[in-house]
């Protein structure tokens, strides 16, 4: 289940007065801030470290507001900077796509001066005048690190634009600063992922909750979500234990884990060729056994998965994307091959 659905469900439960949100919990605090933003049409700024859930929260605000039937367009500034088109041109294109809906500006602090001017032209525009033809009907939600105000002081981000985006500010604290909320989030993730995956998972053991609470979570809420999802998919029992979180346990003192090393990358012996050198891909997977018979599809699939684990250094999102299979399917295949502890 995507993270934004957790936020959206919390907002819905809050509005209905339903049980499920612990009083004064971190999730309830976030839900209340998001609900207030959803009831408004003002620009909103979500501050937080990478992985804190800014995009998910923005999607939940959109899904809970009056524009929910219209488009939600995400504009990732860092990715646009690497494109061939100027950043301001890409920004204008996304504005047109988001007309009538919501435009989420991820990492707004990375906007160039020209792109900031383009955005200010829309956010600060007068009701009428020479620029009125460029008006857009857009709800803007932006995300930034906690240092955006510092960039304003340094003159690297427009002060008038900053104050306009800051009409409503939501701050997502890093997980290491709210360890008391980790167990609550982990249990919620486990319950809902179990339903999605058709698994019988009743909860987490005390040791597992202690392990998760002692880890610093550099990837914040997104990393916790991925870790619990992986644990649910691979779990054999009804209770998740530290055994289902080997990549976390490896970084927490006092928890022993046995993570086998990644399979070595396949290399070919150097070929002594006469004349022009043969142009062979050193990473090519052979279709033929030494006996001369072809490999089965299952054997080819296993070799491809083993190679992908090495090539993408165990990063499951990249492996899943480039192999063209879902993460849950990939996790199951890794388990069948005895490679489930090799994934990050």
* Average of per-residue pLDDT values in the chain: 82
Q: CATH 3.40.50.300 region(s) of the chain?
A: 3-173
Q: Give percent of the chain above pLDDT 90.
A: 43
Q: What is the pLDDT of residues 86-103, one digit of tens each?
A: 888 889 999 999 999 999
Torsion, CA 126, CA 129, CA 133, CA 135, rounded to 10: 0
Q: CATH 1.10.10 region(s) of the chain?
A: 297-342
121 touches 134 (CB < 8 A): yes
- Per CATH, the architecture of 297-342 is what? Orthogonal Bundle (1.10)
Record: fold of 3-173: Rossmann fold (3.40.50)
CATH number of 176-249: 1.10.8.60
Q: What is the pLDDT of residues 134-157, one digit of tens each?
A: 578 999 999 998 889 999 999 999
Task: Determine which of 25-39, 131-145, 157-171, 238-252 has the lowest per-residue pLDDT on average.
Answer: 131-145
The SS3 of residue 58 is helix
Higher pLDDT, 291 or 276: 291
Instruction: Please state, in angstroms and rounded to a whole number, the distance separating the CA atoms of residues 193 and 240.
Output: 12
The H or E element that residue 342 is part of is none
Instruction: Please state, in angstroms and rounded to a whole number, the distance separating the CA atoms of residues 192 and 275.
Output: 62
The pLDDT confidence band at residue 37, using thresholds 50, 70 and 90, is very high
Higher pLDDT, 316 or 59: 59
* Total-model pTM: 0.72
Q: CATH 1.10.8.60 region(s) of the chain?
A: 176-249
């Amino acid at each position: 289940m995507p993270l934004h659905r957790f936020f959206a469900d919390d907002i819905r439960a809050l509005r209905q007065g339903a049980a499920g949100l612990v009083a004064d919990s971190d999730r309830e605090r976030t839900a209340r801030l998001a609900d207030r933003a959803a009831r408004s049409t003002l620009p909103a700024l979500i501050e937080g470290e990478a992985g804190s859930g800014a995009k998910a929260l923005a999607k939940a605000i959109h899904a809970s507001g009056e524009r929910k039937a219209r488009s939600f367009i995400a504009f990732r500034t860092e990715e646009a900077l690497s494109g061939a088109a100027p950043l301001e041109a890409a920004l204008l294109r996304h504005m047109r796509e988001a007309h009538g809906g919501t435009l989420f500006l991820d990492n707004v602090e990375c906007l160039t001066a020209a792109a900031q001017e383009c955005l200010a032209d829309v956010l600060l525009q007068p009701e009428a005048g020479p620029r009125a033809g460029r008006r857009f009907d857009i709800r803007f939600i932006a995300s930034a690190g906690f240092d955006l105000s510092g960039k304003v002081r340094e003159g690297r981000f427009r002060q008038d634009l900053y104050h306009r985006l800051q009409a409503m500010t939501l701050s997502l604290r890093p997980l290491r600063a709210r360890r008391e909320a980790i167990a609550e989030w982990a249990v919620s993730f486990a319950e809902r992922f179990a339903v999605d995956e058709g698994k019988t998972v009743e909860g987490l053991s005390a040791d597992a909750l202690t392990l998760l609470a002692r880890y610093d979570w550099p990837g914040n809420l997104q990393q916790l979500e991925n870790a619990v999802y992986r644990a649910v998919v691979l779990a054999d029992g009804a209770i998740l234990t530290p055994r289902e979180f080997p990549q976390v346990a490896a970084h927490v003192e006092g928890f022993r884990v046995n993570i086998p090393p990644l399979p070595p990358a396949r290399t070919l012996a150097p070929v002594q060729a006469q004349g022009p050198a043969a142009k062979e891909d050193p990473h090519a997977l052979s279709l033929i056994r030494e006996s001369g018979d072809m490999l089965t599809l299952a054997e080819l699939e296993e070799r491809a998965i083993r190679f992908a684990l090495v090539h993408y250094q165990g990063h499951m999102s990249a492996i899943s994307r480039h192999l063209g299979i879902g993460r849950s399917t990939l996790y199951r295949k890794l388990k069948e091959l005895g490679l489930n502890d090799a994934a990050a």
